[in-house]
Amino acid sequence: MTSRQSSSTGLRLAPSGLRLPPISLRTRIAFYYTFMTALLMAAVFAAILFSIDKIVYLHFDEELRHEVEEALEEARMNERILNGLDGFRDLGRTVAEYRELEEIANQRDVHAQFIQLVDSEGRVLSKSFNLAGNSLSFNAASSGVRYFDSTVGGVMVRQVQVPLVSQMGDVQAYLIIGIPTRSTMRVLQDLRNILLWSLPAIILLLFILARALAGSSIRPVGEVIATAESMTQANLHQRIPLPEKHDELYRLSVTINALLSRLEDAFAREKHFTSDAAHELKTPIAVVKGTLDVLVRKPRPVAQYEEKIHYCLDELNRMARLIDQLFMLARYEQKSVKPQIVPIEFSTVLEPVISRLEHLAGDKQLSFVRQNIEQSMVSADPAMLEMILENILSNAIKFSPAGSSIDIEVTRSPGQVICTITDHGIGIPEEHVQYVFDRFYRVDESRSSGTGGFGLGLSIVRRLADLQNIAVSLSSREHAGTAFRLVFQAI
């Protein structure tokens, strides 16, 4: 079956030459079913024919044996048993007897029999009258009792030839008895014909029925196909109606529906991202364009020009930062990115990041507090890990009130290194916690809140962490602070 399928697939995929129309599943099912049934039926029919044939011959041979016994009995009763051949010469029944028998045979459709006596050379010694000018054939090849088919005057007969052995042990003559088999053989032939002709008819009927049955049993597949075919990006919310029976088709439908849900989610996320990105990019353009548009409408004092130009430059710088982050996100989301993971002492990455951010923290009188920094080797891409720490720490700076501290802790537990960065800032309301890693997600919806972020930093953090098998999570209490946790597999 497998090879058949693959060969038909191969034909279908063949780029040139003969293209077979694809065979439908229902036809294939019906075909395999019918093929197997036909084989089985042919075997059964053959067995029937064979055994009936055997039985018929068994009956013939039994009858012949019976006739032989009867003939020998008759010979004995004539007290000429085996002493001479004379007794056998008269073995044949009288003409009158045969006439009578033939009549009876004709009337009752009983088989008549032919009897013939030959000497050891095969010369006819005596034969029954009904043989008339014909004689039963003699098989000289064997000297034992032998059953075989032959014809007498165009009539099919089953014969037996029995050697008559003298007391000295040598074959003196053969008794040959034949019974006509024509009528039985005709019945057998008819049966054979009937079976032979009915087989294709039955197979054809079976194929049609099987095809209809297969069709009705895979009809739900057709519905699944119809629904799936009607799916476009616009109606991805559609689902395949579930069949009532909890069978394989139900499972198929459930699986396809789950797949559709995932697709819909992915599409929605992508659409959301594109729309967010467009919004974020268009806004600074709108600001710069609008500001300059208004600026050039009238002549103005130089100070005003300078102020507006600086303002526009700030906007453009912000936009450049956004584009950088978008590129970074796009690059790291590609599958081809391979982090250069090496074993590294955690604090050798952490310390440079802290010193780089020191001046930013200083602006808000924030202090970094290293609470419990254990010497820990982790496996990570140093550049990526740096970016993760920088993002989390600058986030912490952004949302911390002036004068507070940002606590950093690095601890080892069996098999793990855990880095926790805790701020005492505004925190994240519970309902937002699960979304903060989403692209363009900002807890504070008003984009003009002055924190200046795009909501991409934590998306980048998560992506980078995923690339290096670092588990990143956060816990937060509103107005109390947020704690980020990075969990590394220890080495």
The one segment of 52-60, 134-142, 219-227, 442-450 that binds other proteins by CB under 8 A: 442-450
Whichever of 321 and 485 has its CB closer to other proteins, that residue is 321
Q: 128 burial class (0-12, 13-18, 19+ CB within 10 angstroms)?
A: buried
Complex with other proteins: residue 134 or 283, whichever CB lies closer: 283
For the chain, the straight-line distance linking the first and the last C-alpha, in angstroms and rounded, comes to: 52
The stretch among 56-64, 104-112, 261-269, 275-283 that binds other proteins (CB under 8 A) is 275-283
Count the Cβ atoms, other than its own, within 10 Å of residue 230.
9
User: Given the rule CB under 8 A, which of 271-279, 362-370, 411-419, 464-472 is the region that contacts other proteins?
Assistant: 271-279
Q: Residue 375: what residue type?
A: Q
Binding to other proteins by residue 363, rule CB under 8 A? Answer: no
Contacts 24+ apart (CB under 8 A), 52-58: 52/188, 52/191, 53/188, 56/184, 56/188, 57/147, 57/158
What is the spatial distance between Cα 459 and Cα 457, in angstroms, rounded to a whole number? Answer: 5
Contact criterion met (CB below 8 Å) for 379 and 489? yes
Q: Which stretch binds other proteins (CB under 8 A): 60-68, 285-293, 352-360, 378-386?
A: 285-293
For residue 429 the two structure tokens come to 């309301």
DSSP conformation letters of 441-489: --SS--TTSSS---S-HHHHHHHHHHHTT-EEEEEEETTTEEEEEEEEE
* Nearest CA-CA partner of 136 in 176, 81, 180, 179: 176
Among all chains, which residue has been given the structure tokens 């990105």? 277
Query: Mask: binding to other proteins, 293-312, rule CB under 8 A, as x and -?
Result: xx--xx------------x-
Tell me the DSSP string of 281-335.
HHHHHHHHHHHHHHHTTS---HHHHHHHHHHHHHHHHHHHHHHHHHHHHHHHTST
Judged by CB, which is closer to other proteins: 284, or 481?
284
Piece in contact with other proteins (CB under 8 A), picked from 12-20, 222-230, 240-248, 439-447: 439-447
Geometric angle at alpha carbon 57, from 56 and 62, rounded to 5°:
100
Nearer to other proteins, 275 or 372 (CB): 275
Query: Per-residue x/- marks for other proteins, 63-92, CB under 8 A?
Result: ------------------------------
Give the nearest distance from C-beta 304 to other proteins in angstroms: 10
In the complex with other proteins, the residue whose CB is nearer, 54 or 289, is 289
- Select the span of 52-60, 280-288, 354-362, 472-480 touching other proteins (CB under 8 A): 280-288
Is 412 an interacting residue with respect to other proteins (CB under 8 A)?
no
Q: Does 290 bind other proteins (CB under 8 A)?
A: yes
The residues, ordered by sequence, that sit 6+ positions from 332 with a Cβ below 8 Å of its Cβ are 460, 463, 464, 467
CB of 316 to other proteins, least distance (A): 11
Instruction: Check binding of 485 to other proteins (CB under 8 A).
Output: no
Which CB atom, from 222 or from 290, has the smaller least distance to other proteins? 290
Say if residues 331 and 384 touch (Cβ distance below 8 Å): no
Q: Does 431 bind other proteins (CB under 8 A)?
A: no
Q: Site for other proteins (CB under 8 A): which residue of 180, 220, 284, 481?
A: 284
Q: Does 245 contact other proteins by CB under 8 A?
A: no
Q: Is 291 in the site for other proteins (CB under 8 A)?
A: yes
The answer to whether 120 and 161 are in contact (CB under 8 A) is no
Contact range with other proteins by CB under 8 A, out of 206-214, 276-284, 363-371, 477-485: 276-284
Q: Could you give the strand order of the β-sheet that contains 155-165, starting from the edge strand earlier in sequence?
A: 124-127, 114-119, 171-180, 155-165, 146-152
The span of 61-69, 93-101, 243-251, 279-287 binding other proteins (CB under 8 A) equals 279-287
237 binds other proteins (CB under 8 A): no
What angle, rounded to 10 degrees, do the helices at 382-399 and 346-363 form? Answer: 30
Kindly state the smallest distance separating residue 455's Cβ from other proteins, in Å: 13
d(CA 80, CA 67): 18
Options 285, 330, 377, 471; binder of other proteins; rule CB under 8 A: 285
* 3-class SS of residue 115: strand
- Identity of the amino acid at 453: G
Interface pick for other proteins out of 76, 89, 246, 289 (rule CB under 8 A)? 289
315 binds other proteins (CB under 8 A): yes
Binding residue (CB under 8 A) for other proteins from 273, 447, 466, 489: 447
- Residue count, binding to other proteins (CB under 8 A): 23
348 binding other proteins? (CB under 8 A): no
Q: Is 268 in the site for other proteins (CB under 8 A)?
A: no
User: Which spans of this chain sit near other proteins (rule: CB under 8 A)?
Assistant: 275, 278-279, 282-287, 289-291, 293-294, 297-298, 311, 315, 444-448
